[in-house]
């Protein structure tokens, strides 16, 4: 492999080909370490602070090494950025003849079969949905990739996409009459042939590790796997190494069977009747919980009157439905596929009701319209480690937030890396930004305890003078939706009383992409948001100068998955708080704080309202893990810092990634 430092040098190929490129020492060191890991088929866990340039730090050694590389990201936005911008730029600069491919989950690709079938059926809730489906149909005729990200005419969250794409459940695979026009199959063929494949974590686990979608051959063929935004992996792995069955899946199965039955078994009236009965059983199970939305353990759910009764009724109806469908399945590929889905769903339901594995956490999540029965593994470390110990290859895990201080113990234990032989290589590279000059950390005094009823009111009171000093340009990040709504209401009232006409946005008023676009375009907006804005959101420039965090992001103690893991660790004689809850809170806190300073020109204030930062020993652990900003406890100091910033203006574009 060529000398890595020379590639990043001021007279090197990157500087010559990329306008404004300036290598940083941290970036060169990181690239060298990744090259070493790739050469030795080693595991490397690397934290690289904001501004390090970690994307180029891993792309350069990966492209120079030869062989096949999988790059997995946490978000589709970063996936698109890598494939459309960063990879082509680095490849052209280095003049290496590598082929690249982008692979997403099947829900991102138009399905010709389901699109045509749903166009024929013509059943839509709104005229907009019907118009969107017509637009998707026009797009399908001209697109090369079928990737919905390229169909800018239709909103990403439009209900029409459900009618125009397939799921793992309803895909007909090789039996599909439109298999030759299948965009998913084409994307997978490209991925198999390419030298570098860009995927996302969900697809990696669903396709490559669990081999659910016939892509088991992709991983054995590759020489290196690079996980960007790797802090998300433990959560994603838990999701995919577990199992779930939801009332939404049951309703979709009933609808799909009815649609296929109308096309291929119109004379079978019992099939229609049983599909209606299945829908009623699913809705009756959801209605056990009334209007509440919650997460609870299986034991808590079973305390609800009628839960076990309605769950049993659903299982019985599913068995009857299966028996009728079995008599019709030979009449079409679609009906045969519905039979397979019914069988799998019945098996998952039986396993949830009568679990065989002792290390499974069974829990229920209740949404507005549906209910999910989940079985999550107590720990994913053993399963994940088995994947790593297969074919020799390099595994690179990188993010701006993986360590607690300089310690990767928590992360390595969660993924089973701590017990590998040889042990993983680890490194931390701090951000090159001058945080002491660029940012101020403000810890307000005289805050009530975070669990007190009036705590959101106190947060709003502390935030308002800072928002006015910053002239908008603020993210208020909350740890719960209830707190978010209350704080938003109080800030709106406070701004109105003061006569400040600052634009005030609230998470949920539009998609994340739309809200970010409005925030960037307005230039002086205030956005009050919850968990989905704590990470993966990039607002460089003048549009964001203040980030207010209401309190430390500890998971709620009554969360069923957390409660089960806490109990397990206590039985092992470990402190769940020290070994699990605190490290997770540190990593989440670093993500939230990371929204503030995105470039070497950004300046601003990070306000953390939680009084435990000042009063508890673990509060010191958290703030020592944050970037080395100047610090103050005085509101006047924080307000003066913000008032000295240049006035707001509509700034450059925002991206999420």
* Angstrom distance (rounded) from CA 632 to CA 505: 28
Is pLDDT of 251 > 90? yes
Is pLDDT of 92 > 90? yes
> pLDDT (tens digit, 9 = 90+) per residue, 167-223?
878 888 888 899 999 999 999 899 999 999 999 998 888 877 766 544 466 777 889
- Give the distance from CA 155 to its chain's centroid: 19
**Sheet containing 546-549: order of strands:** 504-506, 526-529, 474-477, 546-549, 604-608, 439-442, 630-632
- Antiparallel, parallel or unpaired: β 196-200 and 100-102: parallel
Is pLDDT of 8 > 90? yes
Average pLDDT over residues 98-115: 93
* Angstrom distance (rounded) from CA 435 to CA 38: 32
Cβ-based neighbours of 615, under 8 Å, separated by 6 or more: none
C-alpha dist (Å) from residue 401 to 351, 498, 592, 627: 36, 38, 10, 11
499: left (phi over 0), alpha (psi -120 to 50) or beta: left
* pLDDT attached to residue 254: 95
Lowest mean pLDDT of 30-39, 114-123, 628-637, name the range: 114-123
Mean pLDDT comparison of 94-98, 402-406, 539-543, highest-scoring range: 94-98
* pLDDT attached to residue 652: 39
* Angstrom distance (rounded) from CA 328 to CA 177: 19
* pLDDT attached to residue 462: 97
- Give the distance from CA 576 to its chain's centroid: 25
Half-sphere exposure of 347 (CA within 13 A, CB side): 7
Average pLDDT over the chain, rounded to whole?
A: 91
Domains annotated on the chain, with CATH? 4-104+185-239+379-429 (3.40.50.300), 106-181 (no CATH), 243-376 (1.10.275), 435-656 (3.40.50.300)
Is pLDDT of 653 > 70? no
The pTM score is 0.87
122: left (phi over 0), alpha (psi -120 to 50) or beta: left
Average pLDDT over residues 371-398: 90
Q: Which of 360, 431, 403, 487 is nearest to 602 (CA)?
A: 431
Return the sign of the alpha-carbon dihedral for residues 160, 163, 166, 167: positive
Cis peptide preceding 422, ω within 30 of 0: yes
37: left (phi over 0), alpha (psi -120 to 50) or beta: alpha
**Residue located via tokens 């929204």:** 595
> pLDDT (tens digit, 9 = 90+) per residue, 275-315?
999 999 999 999 999 987 889 999 999 999 999 999 999 99
* pLDDT attached to residue 1: 47
* pLDDT attached to residue 38: 96
Per-residue confidence band for 654, with pLDDT thresholds at 50, 70 and 90: very low
Angle between helices 112-121 and 247-264 (to 10 degrees): 70
Average pLDDT over residues 502-506: 96
Cβ-based neighbours of 185, under 8 Å, separated by 6 or more: 179
% the chain with pLDDT above 70: 96
Mean pLDDT comparison of 408-412, 506-510, 536-540, highest-scoring range: 408-412
3-class DSSP state of 172: coil
% the chain with pLDDT above 90: 71
* Angstrom distance (rounded) from CA 449 to CA 610: 8
- The answer to whether residues 329 and 336 touch, using CB atoms and an 8 Å cutoff, is yes
Average pLDDT over residues 238-246: 89
Measured in degrees and rounded to the nearest 5, phi and psi for residue 496 equal -65, -40
Is pLDDT of 657 > 60? no
3-class DSSP state of 604: strand
C-alpha dist (Å) from residue 544 to 140, 166, 435, 530, 590: 38, 39, 16, 17, 17
* pLDDT attached to residue 637: 97
298-307, long-range: CB within 8 Å, 24+ apart, which pairs? 298/352, 298/362, 298/363, 298/364, 298/560, 300/364, 300/560, 301/363, 301/364
* pLDDT attached to residue 76: 80
User: What sections of 143-193 are H helices per DSSP?
Assistant: 160-164, 183-193
């Amino acid at each position: 492999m060529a000398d890595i430092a020379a590639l990043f040098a001021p007279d090197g190929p990157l500087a010559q080909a990329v306008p404004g490129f300036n290598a940083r020492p941290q970036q060169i060191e990181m690239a060298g370490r990744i090259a070493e890991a790739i050469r030795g088929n080693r595991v490397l866990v690397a934290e690289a602070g904001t501004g390090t340039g970690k994307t180029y730090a891993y792309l350069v050694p990966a492209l120079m090494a030869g062989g096949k590389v999988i790059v997995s990201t946490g978000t589709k936005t970063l996936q698109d950025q890598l494939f459309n911008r960063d990879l082509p730029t680095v490849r052209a600069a280095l003049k290496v003849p590598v082929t690249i491919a982008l692979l997403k989950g099947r829900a991102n690709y138009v399905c010709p079969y389901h699109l045509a079938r749903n166009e024929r059926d013509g059943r839509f809730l709104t005229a907009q949905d019907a118009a969107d489906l017509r637009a998707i149909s026009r797009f399908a005729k001209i697109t090369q990739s079928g990737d919905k990200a390229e169909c800018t005419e239709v909103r990403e969250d439009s209900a029409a996409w459900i009618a125009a794409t397939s799921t793992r459940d309803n895909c007909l695979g090789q039996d599909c009459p439109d298999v030759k026009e299948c965009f998913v199959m084409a994307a997978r063929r490209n991925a198999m042939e390419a030298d570098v494949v860009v995927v996302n974590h969900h697809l990696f686990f669903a396709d490559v590790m669990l081999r659910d979608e016939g892509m088991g051959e992709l991983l054995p063929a590759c020489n290196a796997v690079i996980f960007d935004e790797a802090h998300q992996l433990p959560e994603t792995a838990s999701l995919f190494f577990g199992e779930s069955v939801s009332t939404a899946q049951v309703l979709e199965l009933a609808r799909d069977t009815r649609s296929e039955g109308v096309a291929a078994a119109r004379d079978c009236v019992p099939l229609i009747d049983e599909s209606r009965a299945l829908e009623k059983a699913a809705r009756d199970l959801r209605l056990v919980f009334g209007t509440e939305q919650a997460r609870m353990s299986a034991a808590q759910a079973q305390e609800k009157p009628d839960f076990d009764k309605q769950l049993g009724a659903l299982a019985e109806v599913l068995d009857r439905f299966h028996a009728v469908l079995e008599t019709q399945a030979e009449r079409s590929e679609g009906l045969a596929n519905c039979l397979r889905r019914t069988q799998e769903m019945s098996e998952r339901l039986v396993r949830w009701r009568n679990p065989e594995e002792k290390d499974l956490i069974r829990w229920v999540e209740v949404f507005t319209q549906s209910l999910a029965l989940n079985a999550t593994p107590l720990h994913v470390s053993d399963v994940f480690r088995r994947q790593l110990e297969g074919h020799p290859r390099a595994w690179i895990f990188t993010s701006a937030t993986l360590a607690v201080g300089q310690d990767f113990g928590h992360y390595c234990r969660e993924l089973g890396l701590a017990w590998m032989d040889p042990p993983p290589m680890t490194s931390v590279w701090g951000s090159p930004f001058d945080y002491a000059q660029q940012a101020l950390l403000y810890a307000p005094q005289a805050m009530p305890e975070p669990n007190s009823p009036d705590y959101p009111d106190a947060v709003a009171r502390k935030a308002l003078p800072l928002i006015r000093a910053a002239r908008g340009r603020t993210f208020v990040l909350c740890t719960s939706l209830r707190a978010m709504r209350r704080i938003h209401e109080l800030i709106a009232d406070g701004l109105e009383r003061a006569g400040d006409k600052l634009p005030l946005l609230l998470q949920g008023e539009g998609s994340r992409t739309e809200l970010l676009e409005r925030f960037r375009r307005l230039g002086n907006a205030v956005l009050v948001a919850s968990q989905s804005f704590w990470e993966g959101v990039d607002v460089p420039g003048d549009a964001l100068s203040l980030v207010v965090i209401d309190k430390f992001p500890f998971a709620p103690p009554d969360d069923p998955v957390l409660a089960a893991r806490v109990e397990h660790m206590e039985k092992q004689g470990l402190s769940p708080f020290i070994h699990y809850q605190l490290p997770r809170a540190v990593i989440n806190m670093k993500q939230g704080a990371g929204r503030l300073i995105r470039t070497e020109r950004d300046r601003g204030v990070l306000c953390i309202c939680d009084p435990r930062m000042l009063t508890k020993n673990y509060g010191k652990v958290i703030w020592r893990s944050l970037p080395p900003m100047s610090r103050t406890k005085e509101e006047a100091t924080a307000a003066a810092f913000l008032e000295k910033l240049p006035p707001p203006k509509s700034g450059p574009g925002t991206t999420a990634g």
